[in-house]
Amino acid sequence: MTRSGRSAAGDAPTHDEAQVRRLVLATALTMSRSGLSPGRSGNVSARFGEGMLITPTGLVYEEIGPEDIVFVTLDGNVPQARRKPSSEWPLHVAAYRTRPDMGAVVHTHSTHAVVLACAGRPIPAFHYMVATAGGSDIPIAPYATFGSEALARHVAACLADRQACLMAHHGAIALGRTLPEALELAQDVEMLAEQYIKVLALGPPVLLPEGEMKTVLELFKSYGRNAPDE
């Protein structure tokens, strides 16, 4: 069955489910090959129609095809699936329900993000690029068992006003309007986590004041937009 609707493939709507499946898989492969999520860890999804297309559970990304990407409704139903969805599908559903403006989710187990998550440390405003996640810090969600509704609730609370957060003793999650945007943010979170760990090795970090972070957040609203104003 083909489902039509707006996807996270790019900035424009698409009615091509096969294309979105390919893009979800391509994003997962890039995530894995870049070291953001080794082995079978991590997962990727894109909003599609009345639900999402998400990577399957327990399979190596190098060994799956677009047909193995699973459609899950936002009610948690899995119609006509040949594979089981990622065990973290409740996390993705919660993210889409909390952030209807977002179209893609990338969940990673990247090394430095995991280190901070296991230490119970959010990423504060040690660098202005922290604002890329939508606020003056990158928060950390309390621990709950992977795949649980409790974890989904904790993460949804963090993502209400952020596009990324850490998950205690687990990893990180990043949202985007598109798949490339979500993946780029996941890469940024890992970079910031690595930098912050190195700053901590030198001593207590000097943080930017809240007023400056508000200025940066306002500037980020138009950052990177090269088209002339209409």
Helix or strand holding residue 177 (H, E): none
How is the chain split into domains, by residue range? 17-220
DSSP 62: G
Q: Distance of CA 38 to CAs 28, 61, 111, 183, Å?
A: 11, 10, 9, 15
Helix or strand holding residue 80 (H, E): none
Task: Look at residue 7 in the predicted model and tell me its pLDDT.
Answer: 55
∠ at Cα 230 (104, 100), nearest 5°? 20
Q: Is the pLDDT of residue 125 over 80?
A: yes
Task: Look at residue 1 in the predicted model and tell me its pLDDT.
Answer: 37
Q: Which residue has the tokens 């604002």?
A: 131
DSSP 69: -
pTM for the model: 0.90
Return the SS3 of 134. coil
Helix boundaries (H) for the chain = 17-33, 89-98, 111-119, 149-159, 179-202, 210-220
Q: Is the pLDDT of residue 12 over 50?
A: no
Task: Look at residue 227 in the predicted model and tell me its pLDDT.
Answer: 46
- Longest Cα separation, the chain: 57
Question: pLDDT by residue (tens digit) across 61-112?
Answer: 999 999 999 999 999 899 877 899 999 999 999 999 999 999 999 999 999 9
Task: Look at residue 13 in the predicted model and tell me its pLDDT.
Answer: 45
Give the number of other Cβ atoms within 10 Å of residue 190's Cβ. 21
Q: Which residue did the predictor score with more confidence, 214 or 80?
A: 214
Specify whether the CB–CB gap between 53 and 46 falls below 8 A. yes
The two structure tokens encoding residue 72:
């899950």
The two structure tokens encoding residue 87:
């065990």
Return the SS3 of 20. helix
Helix or strand holding residue 221 (H, E): none
Catalytic site positions: 88
Q: Which residue has the tokens 């780029």?
A: 184
Please provide the distance, in angstroms rounded to a whole number, between the alpha carbons at the two ends of the chain.
Answer: 41
Helix or strand holding residue 70 (H, E): strand 70-73
Task: Look at residue 79 in the predicted model and tell me its pLDDT.
Answer: 86
Task: Look at residue 15 in the predicted model and tell me its pLDDT.
Answer: 56
The CATH number given to 17-220 is: 3.40.225.10
Q: Is the pLDDT of residue 14 over 70?
A: no
* d(C-alpha 55, C-alpha 69), whole Å: 5
